[in-house]
Structure formats: C-alpha cells, structure tokens
Chain A
Amino acid sequence: MAKVKRFMQGNEACAEGALYAGCNFFAGYPITPSTEIAEILGYQLPKIGGKWIQMEDEIASIAATIGGSLGGCKALTATSGPGLSLKQEGLGYAAMAEIPCVIINVMRGGPSTGYPTGPSQSDMMTAKWGTHGDHPVIALTPSTVPEILTETVRAFNLAEKYRMPVFVFYDEIVGHMREPVEIPEPGDLEIVDRAKPTCKPEDYKPYDSNFEIAPLAAYGKDGYRFHVTGLNHGDDGFPTNDSKRIDQGCRSIMAKIENNLDDILKNETVDMDDAEIVLFAYGSTARSASFAQRKAREKGIKAGLFRPLTMWPFPEKAIREAAKKAKVFIVPEMNLGQMSLEVERCAPGIEVKGINRVDGEPINPAQILECIEKYK
C-alpha cells in the first residue's frame, strides 16, 4: 500500500514527528516562529491522552517539561530566540540532572527581539554555550520538511537513550515552508524508550556509576523513590562535596557524548570524494548550497557539499578528513560567522570562507556559486 503523503509545514512535521516518537507531554509559551508546534500539539495531545500546558513564561515551560519527563512522560518544548535565552537555566538543569527532553528552536533574527518573522541561523553557538558550566549538547539541524519529522523522532530517541536534553534547530524558512511528506507507518522508524530500573526499589540509585547511563525511574511509578538536584551529586542523587565524585560527575555527563559519537553523528555528503571546494551548510542554507554545488559541478568545478544533520557534537573527525583534500571550505550561514569558527578549528591551515547574511533574507544559490567560482 502506498504511504499517505501529506503536504505539510515544517512546524507541522515537527509535531507529527514528536507524536510518532511517543511524545505525550508538551509545555510551551507562544513565540514566533515556532508557535504552530504548540498549537498543533494542543489539539493532538489530548486526543491520545497526552498532557499539554501553556505555561506563564519560557522559564516555566522548560521547568514543566523537565517535571513531565520525571513524571515518566516523553516531554517536548518548542521556542525561538528570546525564549531559548530564557530557557538556558532549565537546560543546564536537565543536562546536570540528566533528564531526557527535547527542545525545538525555530531560529529567527537576533539578538534580542530582533526580526521575529525573518529567518536566521544565529543561535548555533547558543546551543553549545548558552547555559553556564561544561555540559553535553546534542543539536540536530534538519534542512527539509520530511527531515524535520525524522530528526524530531531521532531527537527523542537520543534524549531517552542518553538521558539529556536534545535540541532540534532549524530556521524560520524550513519551519514555515511546506513540502510533501510521506507519513511513516508504525515500525518504519526506530523508537527508543528510556531504560527502566530493574533492581529492588531500595537498591535504586538514579546516578549509579556502574552504568554508563543509569536507568531513570519515574516519580510515583513502580515504588522507586529518589532524589534529583541540580547540585553536584553522588550516585544516590544527593548533593556531594566529595571532589572526586564531583569531578567524575562532570566528566561522565560529557563522556556520554564522546563515547558514542558514531551513534550520535549524522551527515549527508555530496560529491565529497574529490572535492577541492567544500561547502559546509545546514538548515535552509544547505538547500541553497546544494543548488550551487550542482551548478558548479555542471561547470566542471570540483565542489562538494558537507551537510551535518548532527551539528553538536561537531563532526570534527569528518571535517579533519575532508580538510586533507580541500583547498577551501565555504560556510554560508545566516549569521555573522558561527559554525565557520568550528570548521576553522578542525581545518587548520585551510582557508575557510564565510558567506554571511543577517538581513532576514535567505542566502541564495547565486551568491554561493559566485563565491565558488572565485576559488575554481
């Protein structure tokens, strides 16, 4: 049987992906250009008995999302720029206390209130460095509407598997554009549920360091009573002043990522085998880059496209590999140069050329092609 194909908006595909992944809790606050996600889930979640709440502000929404997750739900919140700034303390808490949750950020112009209805990619470093302290980050960057659906599912899987907040970042263009999407049937995509403790309740330790990722019980379910805090804590979840355990805790939340890069990283590459000019692009900008890359190849220019679907952790190894053959990396982004800095870090000695635009207009293929031709 042919799959159901629907013409849908990026934000709609996000809600669809969340439901497919088993999301049954949403807390949010209205903000352009992500509000459609809240609206759709406000309609859909009650239909499946899921919980949905509009909180009094962005801070409360991330807090309730984390609370919902600890109550045993697969929890989601969605926001944009200024809301992402406000959510930072809660995101740090989720990273520290290792609570799974998914955060969608539909990027609009900034800083501050900026350009609410215009596209941007200027929150990329906020994902990485927004909250204080060393903390693990997974951020996914889909470019198409069907990809928003599948990457939202992947975000839930990674959040549940690695017990941490996972971001999906896309710009307003991808969030509001519409494309046909084949709706996956149950079973088509992998769904990961969080590991549940199997030990006796009295033996349960929510941060048991015998596990790489300790199973997480839910409040009020199955008789596991435990304590959660944002303070540095021991295996039992209680605050600790033991410097050895503090050090171990800080390192172990980072190690979850470093030890599982193969599982977390995901890129798409086009014509990279002999690429001398490498386009590094993500979100809607990757679509412009793809157009320009095709045109460049038609002209016989050895251009390739590297498109990260996992932006954080950064695909360091792959970029170092690409740098061996590349004579230049071109990094188009709707900001004043953010991911280009990471590319530079991983490609020492190679020129990294940014194409930057912050006027609320997309970077068009002609701009990128013009830049490619300068390096042919």
Chain B
Amino acid sequence: MADRYELRFSGSGGQGMILAGIIMAEAASIYGDKNAVQSQSYGPESRGGASKAEVVISDDAIDYPKATAIDCMLAMTQEACTKYHDDIKDDGILLVDTELVHELPKGKFKIYEFPIIETAREELGKVIVANIISLGLMTALTKIVSEKAITDAVLSRVPKPFLELNEKALKIGFERAKELKEKK
C-alpha cells in the first residue's frame, strides 16, 4: 500500500458515521496488523447536520490525522456528498446511498450507488444497521482491511442479542459490493 490510505464516512448526525469510522480503524489497527487513526468533525447538535469521520490507515506511523487525498468516501446524505467529495483522489471511490443521494458529483473517481438504508430497512428490518452494511460494502470495495478483521471489530462492539443481525448486515455488504464491482 501507499504510505497512507484515507477513508471518509459522511452523513448526518445520528447515522452512525463516527462509529463506522471507529470500527474501520479498529479493524485495521487492533484486529489487523496496520496502524490507524480516526478523527471526526461534528457540530454542537448530536442529531442532524452534516457529520464526518475520517480514518487514515498505514503500515507506518501516521502523523497528520486528517484526510489529505481520499481513497474511499461514503456519503449517506446529499448534503454530506456535496460538501465533502472535493478531496477524493482521481482513482478513488465514492459510495453513495441511492435513497438520499440523487445528484452525483462530477469527478474522475469511481462512483458506486447502493440502496444502503433501504436494504437495512427492507431486508433486515432495522435502519440502524445501515452503517454496518456500509462497512461491509467499503471493506469489500477497498480490501484495505480483511473481512475477518472487520467482522471481529464489529462483533466486539455489539451486544449479544444483536450479533446475528450485525453479522448479516456485514455479509450483505460484502456480497453486494462484489456484485457492484462486477457490474462496473
């Protein structure tokens, strides 16, 4: 890998973007053998408003903790997508939720569209696991962490009664990402 791999999780407050970032970084640094730093920016409100979490992954020590050139970004709302897509690399990836993002930004990066929230609601009956589906999608699209590492990281944070639900959400993410890739 290059000396830095940068991911950004963006959406609105309450969608679990910061938690998704933390889990991705844990997968890399605690359940994987890389180094990772997670940072975020947030407004005073804990619900609504554009929020983002950033994760930098590297084999080496990481100095600057914020994104400089994004390898992969997730946008769960139109506002976040419009506001935060600027620094995606030319060969980077943008993953958007089709239900909430309608206007796609222009750029040389690859765009994947997937109904993340709808899938959480329709197939799993819980909108709350949309961020876990997105982790599955991003893992499979980027291969920056292994499927095992992200599974370990997710399951370590989930209370027992919800283990199965979250595992399912991740698997949906892994599988659908492969389908998305084949389509491209």
Contacts and interface: CB of A to CB of B under 8 A. Distances in A.
Interface of A: 5-7, 32, 116-117, 173, 176-180, 284, 287-288, 290-291, 294, 362, 364-366
Contacts of A362: 66
Q: Which 5 A-B pairs have the closest CB atoms?
A: A290-B63, A177-B39, A291-B64, A180-B29, A287-B63
B29 A7 contact: yes
Interface residues of B, number: 21
Given A116-B44, A180-B30, A288 B64 contact: yes
Interface centre among A32, A116, A287, A365 (most CB of B within 10 A): A287
Interface in B40-67: 40-44, 62-66
A117 B64 contact: no
Contacts of A180: 29-30, 35-36
B45 to A, nearest CB: 10
Chain A binding surface, main DSSP class? mixed
Nearest to B40: A176
B22 A117 contact: no
A287 B39 contact: no
B97 interface: no
Given A7-B29, A116-B44, A117-B43, A178 B63 contact: no
B6 to A, nearest CB: 13
Interface centre among B37, B38, B63 (most CB of A within 10 A): B63
B64 A365 contact: yes
Contacts of B30: 5-7, 180
B82 interface: no
A177 B39 CA distance: 4
Given A7-B25, A291-B63, A365 B68 contact: yes
B71 interface: no
Nearest to B54: A177
Contacts of A32: 44
B44 A173 contact: no
B65 A177 contact: yes
B118 to A, nearest CB: 30
Nearest to A305: B63
B57 to A, nearest CB: 11
A178 B66 contact: no
A287 B41 CA distance: 17
B63 to A, nearest CB: 4
Contact of A178 (B35, B37, B41, B64): B37
18 contacts: A5-B30, A7-B26, A173-B65, A176-B39, A177-B39, A177-B40, A178-B38, A179-B29, A179-B36, A179-B37, A180-B35, A180-B36, A287-B64, A287-B65, A294-B63, A362-B66, A365-B64, A365-B68
Interface in B69-118: none
B65 A290 contact: no
Given A5-B29, A179-B29, A180-B30, 16 more contacts: A5-B30, A6-B30, A7-B29, A116-B44, A117-B42, A173-B65, A177-B39, A178-B25, A178-B38, A179-B65, A180-B29, A287-B64, A288-B64, A290-B63, A294-B63, A364-B64
A322 to B, nearest CB: 20
Nearest to A290: B63
B15 to A, nearest CB: 18
Nearest to B27: A7
Most buried by A among B26, B43, B64: B64
A364 B66 contact: yes
B37 A177 contact: yes
A284 B26 CA distance: 21
Contacts of B25: 7, 178
A366 B64 CA distance: 11
Contacts of A364: 64, 66, 68
Given A284-B65, A366-B68, A173 B26 contact: no
A116 B44 CA distance: 8
Contacts of A365: 64, 68
Nearest to A366: B68
Contacts of B38: 7, 177-179
A110 to B, nearest CB: 16
Contacts of B64: 287-288, 290-291, 364-365
B14 to A, nearest CB: 16
